[in-house]
Chains A and B, each alone.
Chain A
Amino acid sequence: MAVLRLIWAGWRFHVKSLTLSGFFLLTSSVQPILFATMAYFMFRAGSSEQSLLYVALGSGLMGIWSSTLFGSGGAISWQRWQGTLEVSIAAPAPFVLVLIPITLATATIGLYSLTATLLWGKLFFDVPFEIAHPLLFALSIPATILGLGMLGLVLAASFILYRNANALSNLLEFPVWLVTGLLVPLSLFPGWVRPISWVLAPTWGVRAIRDSALGEGAPLAAIGMCLALAACYFVIGTVLIGHFERLARERATLSLT
């Protein structure tokens, strides 16, 4: 109970903090709109109206991934810079429980991207917003947030140890967009890409959201995969963070000085 209370309080705190950051909010809503606009024009040239919703949801998910990636890494770097990383680690709460609310909050902030791209599509490109399975759609969103947030936790572990790990987040943005099918269908890629996409939560998140919205495939199975991956990431993240926290205390990388 105390653990859930800590996660809930931390999540609210960090969502509020990130929402008050003009820079973070602007990048998490403007960037996906730009990508969505390009994608709308490309898909409009040769596809049906339903494809436009497919594009809108994919662009929104791109925003959620970018937000998680930059947010998880940025949050650690930012906390190191403002001196709150040491204060948080010096607290008796296990550090993984300090980090989970941060990575979940950054994934949640990505919802601004999804909302922005859907509104943008509706207002300027007449993208129909009709959800085939509203209940499954409503379930798929928190499942995706949880999956991406926990993946962010695994990434955040490296940001504790390496002060310049932000370079990693730049490397991971585009490839993950591609191999998880956010931008173009996975069927366009060679077979060896599939196993990589299967272990990445955005693959199942976008599938759950798209399938429930468009009434295709098996959204419940995709939601299940998202949650199962979230559980795996949680275990990996917890082990890595415990190990990396100890290394960071040995190597003195928790503070700038």
Chain B
Amino acid sequence: MAVIEAAELRRTYRTTTGTIRRRRLDVEAVRGISFEVAEGELFGLLGPNGAGKTTTIKMLITLLVPSGGSARVLGFDVVRQAREVRRRVGYVFGGDRGVYERLSALDNLRYFAELYGVPGREQKPRIAELLELVGLTGREKERVEGYSRGMRQRLHIARGLLHDPPVVFFDEPTIGLDPVGARELRGTIASLREAGKTILLTTHYMFEADQLCDRIAVIAKGKIVAEGTPRDLKRSVADLTVLEIEAFGASAEAIERIRRAPGVTAVAVEERDHAQVLHVSSPRGTELAQQLLGELDGGTRVGRVVTREPTLEDAYVALVTEE
């Protein structure tokens, strides 16, 4: 039996525009997505900002009622059996928020242990164990407002695991962390998976999904556009080649011309110091370098130009930029 099941899940937000003449708008954040996560699996929802990842997680952990479709966690319906779901899931999100800053980590954990129904006699050893797991032992009596972002994030993880949930949802947990902090956090997530937890992770970092996830669903504009193992997704772009162009001062118009050039399937732009690196995907065997360099404006200086094999990131870019 799948631990997490989503079937044709939909969510529409109602919003308004205008100041005087206000108009109601319905925004479809999630447009009928279906997937399953097996027991002990680490499943990644990968997509750009606004793709619908957080909305999906919030429906699965009962914070949002779906506008359509259904979802079950450990067999419990997320709408009708919300309390049963809440008892069995942990929720960790990225960023600074979600903890009481004026109080200490210990105060926070004791309070949330009560909210999550951890029996009194189990609280002390459980909190000590989690502080050890996330590396906050010795700092637990300090006020959270003095914590670094990485420490807060580790406190989030401890909070999310207080009731030892079999299913844990991580919503962009490494966002804003420095590279060392992010690597430590990925290590913690990997150790939870080894401990047998079923994990759903959202991220827009390709390498993170590649490193951690057993399976990935790529989500774009509220729809799942691809699903499989990282290897499957890489295979989907095996017939492509990527041209990397290092440019200094390429205009938005020039990049748009390249994107529309015949033979180009996707373009990703990476800002690197003073340069832009354009990653241009095209079918294997096509020779586009001269043509694309011609699309750049006269004043644009061009640095390194290389052709390379596609990576998972290229597969991702190709998937999320498809119309």
Contact = CB atoms under 8 A, between A and B. Distances in A.
Given A92-B83, A249-B65, A83 B114 contact: no
B38 interface: no
Contacts, number: 83
A101 to B, nearest CB: 9
Contact of A91 (B14, B65, B86): B86
Interface in B266-319: none
Interface residues of A, number: 32
Contact of B87 (A17, A82, A92): A92
A90 to B, nearest CB: 5
Given A83-B97, A86-B63, A6 B115 contact: yes
A254 interface: yes
Nearest to B84: A92
B7 interface: no
A189 interface: no
A88 B99 CA distance: 10
Contact of B97 (A10, A21, A82, A250): A82
A162 interface: no
B120 A91 contact: no
A10 B116 CA distance: 12
Q: What DSSP secondary structure best describes chain A's contact surface?
A: helix
B103 interface: yes
A9 interface: yes
Nearest to B55: A252
Contacts of A81: 97
A91 B116 contact: yes
A87 B103 contact: no
A230 B266 CA distance: 64
B98 interface: yes
A92 B14 CA distance: 28
Contacts of B115: 6, 10, 88, 91-93, 98
Contacts of B87: 92
Given A5-B120, A82-B97, A93-B116, A10 B63 contact: no
Interface in A87-142: 87-94, 98
Given A84-B98, A91-B112, A252-B13, A17 B62 contact: no
Given A90-B61, A251-B14, 10 more contacts: A9-B110, A13-B100, A81-B97, A82-B98, A90-B62, A90-B86, A92-B116, A93-B114, A250-B65, A252-B13
28 contacts: A5-B120, A10-B111, A13-B107, A16-B103, A16-B107, A17-B102, A17-B103, A82-B97, A82-B98, A82-B99, A83-B95, A83-B97, A84-B98, A84-B99, A84-B100, A87-B91, A87-B112, A88-B115, A89-B63, A90-B91, A92-B83, A92-B87, A92-B163, A93-B114, A93-B116, A246-B65, A249-B63, A250-B65
